[in-house]
Every structure is written in C-alpha cells, then in structure tokens.
Amino acid sequence: MENEPLLNSLQTGFPEATIAIGSDWPEMSIESTQLLEVIEKLKGSDNWDFNYLFCETCVDWKTHFTMVYHLSSTQFRHSMVLKAKVDREIPQIESVVKFYKTAEMLEREVYDLFGIQFLNHPDLRRLLLTEDWVGYPLRKDYHDPINMIKL
Amino acid sequence: MDVKVSEPSTPFPGTIHETPGGGILLSSLDDVINWARSNSLWPLVFGTSCCAIEMMSVASAKYDFSRFGFEVFRASPRQADVIIISGTIVNKMAPVLKRLFDQMPEPKYVIAMGACATSGGPFFYNTYSVVKGADHVIPVDVYLAGCPPRPEALLHALITLQEKIKSGLTREQIRSKMSEEYGK
Ligand code: SF4
C-alpha cells in the first residue's frame, strides 16, 4: 500500500491512536499498555501483514522515553512506525519477542543502553557493554567522571 | 624529452670502493639490517572503523603500498611487523589491541592513523567508550593527522616510519637531534 491509503486504513483500524505521515512513513503513537494487542492486529491482519520488524530503538526525552518500532511487510512492501511512551521512573514495556524473533537482540541492545525493562523477554542481558557495567550510557543524564570529558 | 632520474631519499647505507675485477662494500651491519628491515614491513590486518577504508585503498591498485615494501597484510600478528591502527579504539577493543601487539615478534612498529587513534578525535568529548589516543595502550612510532587522512598521507606516514627505522634512532634521540637542528 502507498502511504496515504495505509494511513487511512490504520486510522479506521485504530480510531483512538494518533497517526500522521512522518518523514517517510505513517507514524502511529499508542499507549504502552496497548502494545501487544496493536502489534498482534498489525501482524495478523490480511491487508497489513506487518511481518518484519526492521528496527527497534528508544529515544530519551528527559521527561519520558519513547520506544520506536519500525514495521514492514515483505508481502505488500509498505512500512510504518509505531511509537509507545514509556515512563521514566518505571521504565517497563512488554517485549515483542513472541511476534518478532529479531526483537530479542534489539531489545537487549535497548536494555543495555537505555535500561528499559522488557517484560517476558526470554534472555534480558547486556549486549554491547561489559556484564558489570553500571548505568545506561545513552540516557541523557548519564555521567561517567572517569571516561567522559564533558564539553 | 629529458627523463630525470632522482636519487632515492635514503640510498643504500655504505660506500663502494672500486677495485679491479669488482668492488668492496664498506658498511656497518646495523645499518644494513635496518635498511633491509625498513624495506620489508608487513602490516597486520587491523581496521576498527572508517580510517580502515582509506588504509584498504592504500593497499589496492591505485596507491599500492607494495611499491614501498609494505607488501601484504598479514592476518596473524606473528607474521606482522607493523600495526596500522586505522580507526577508533574503544575501551572494549583496547585489551585486544594490547594482546595483538604483544603477540607480534620484535622488532615491531605502530602507526596511529587518523584523529581517533592519535587522540580520540571526534570522540574526545562526551563519550563513555572511546580510548583517548591509542598511545594509552601501546607505544606509537608515527602519528598521522586527519579524519580520515588521505591515502597519500598514509603513504607519507609509512615512508616516515621507514626513515625512522633506517636512522636507527630512538624517539628521544630524534627529538634532541631536531631541537639541535632547529635551535629549540
Ligand atoms: S579519524 Fe575520522 S575517519 Fe578515522 S576512524 Fe576516526 S572518525 Fe573515522
């Protein structure tokens, strides 16, 4: 589907979500509690068939986090962005590993650098940093007086 | 058209005494060894980021550092003479770099290629993971500026290393010689 019809069909499918065309694809913002049901619907539906998670990352807005999921369909060749707000005090969200196996590594990376706890993740360990690392370096308030020279 | 044949910058160390039926070569063994060594330096396959792309192009047909005796990249530190640190060294890579350097047989040389390897470069400020200069980990012979340095600059660094080896001097000796020369 092209972006416009995809946007319209998403709007009919999820009337309560905010959807707009972003720089490349339709971007849909949802509540983090709805994540699993939304993804189940996006992946399971015959006219969307979002069967490929090609990027999963996180943004630190200082007041909250946003989890960002880039979904794509290998059948229809359309893509979309899914955004879910995560609380900064209790950084928890459901893992999407049961829908996309690739999320296992992506979520370990996000956990490693942002410290988001993925509920029901099969193996949530640090990925890039050493096992005994303290803190989450891609958070805006991260500070390391030994290795970092602040400018 | 005149073809100008220029002298090599450092000719064979020694003097030739013509005698009937041949010649006698006078030299010191150290000089000959250094001369031979400097013309056969095999680099280690070691590239950690973008500078490595420039290093590869220096090895390939257009620039071709084999012309200067840098022949082939060796994938084993035990067969390598020089390590070109082409790229960012992160804290996690530092022990690996040290170990590779330790595994190389003497004599061994190090070129720090690019801003990252000399000082941390673009990653000097506000990073938690980058070593601020590879010389925190292993001793460096030649520093090369640039981000990334052009292939010609790497060739110049390689030739500088050859000249350092041929001179047989340590860093301190080179420094005091330069300060004598320039009166600093
Ligand atoms: S000096 Fe520049 S080009 Fe070289 S590795 Fe660092 S960032 Fe890349």
How would DSSP label each residue in chain A?
--HHHHHHHHHHH-TTSEEEE-SSSEEEEE-GGGHHHHHHHHHH-TTT---EEEEEEEEE-SSEEEEEEEEE-TTT--EEEEEEEEESSS-EEE--TTT-TTHHHHHHHHHHHH--EEET-S----SSS-TT--S-TTSTT---TTT----
Domain ranges of chain A: 3-119
Asked if residue B3 has pLDDT above 80, the reply is: no
Residue range A99-146, pLDDT digits in tens: 999 999 999 999 999 999 999 999 999 999 888 888 899 999 888 888
Residue B12 has pLDDT above 80, yes or no: no
Instruction: Check if CATH label 3.10.129.10 holds for domain A3-119.
Output: no
Residue B106: count other Cβ atoms within 10 Å of its Cβ.
5
Write down the residue that tokens 């290795």 correspond to.
A147
Q: Does residue B91 belong to the interface with chain A, where contact is any CB pair within 8 Å? A: yes
Q: How far is CA B150 from CA A43, A47, B63, B115, B153, in A?
A: 48, 52, 11, 12, 5
- Split at pLDDT 50, 70, 90, the class of B100 is very high
Test site for ligand 1: of B57, B97, B111, B116, most ligand atoms within 8 A of the Cβ = B116
Q: Which of A131, A147, A150 to mutate to test the interface with B (most CBs of B within 10 A)?
A: A147
Residue B101 pLDDT exceeds 90: yes
Pick from B38, B29, B30: nearest CA to B10: B38
Contacts of residue A149 in chain B, CB cutoff 8 Å? 124-126, 132
pLDDT given for residue B4 in this prediction: 59
Closest partner CB to B126 (pick from A129, A130, A148): A148
Residues near A11 by beta carbon (within 8 Å), at least 6 away in sequence: A19
Least confident of A45-49, B11-15, B79-83, B128-132: B11-15
For residue B183, pLDDT beyond 80: no
- Which of helix, strand or coil describes residue B51? helix
User: Residue A92: beta bridge partners?
Assistant: A117
Region B149-167: mean pLDDT is 91
Choose the mutation target among A132, A141, A143, A148 for the interface with B, i.e. most B CBs under 10 Å.
A148
Contact of A149 with chain B, judged by CB distance below 8 Å, is answered with yes
Percent of chain B with pLDDT over 90: 53
Is the CB of residue A142 less than 8 Å away from at least one CB of chain B?
A: yes
Cα gap A41→A55, rounded to integer Å: 19
Percent over 70 (pLDDT), chain B: 94
How many A from CA of B46 to the centre of ligand 1?
Answer: 14
Q: Is the C-beta atom of B50 inside 6 A of ligand 1?
A: yes
**For tokens 């506000």, what's the residue?**
B126
Token pair for A48: 């969307």
Q: Please state, in angstroms and rounded to a whole number, the distance separating the CA atoms of residues A47 and A44.
A: 9
Give mean pLDDT, residues A68-83.
93
**B56-92 confidence digits (pLDDT tens):** 999 999 999 998 888 889 999 999 999 999 999 999 9
Statement: residue B173 has pLDDT above 60: yes
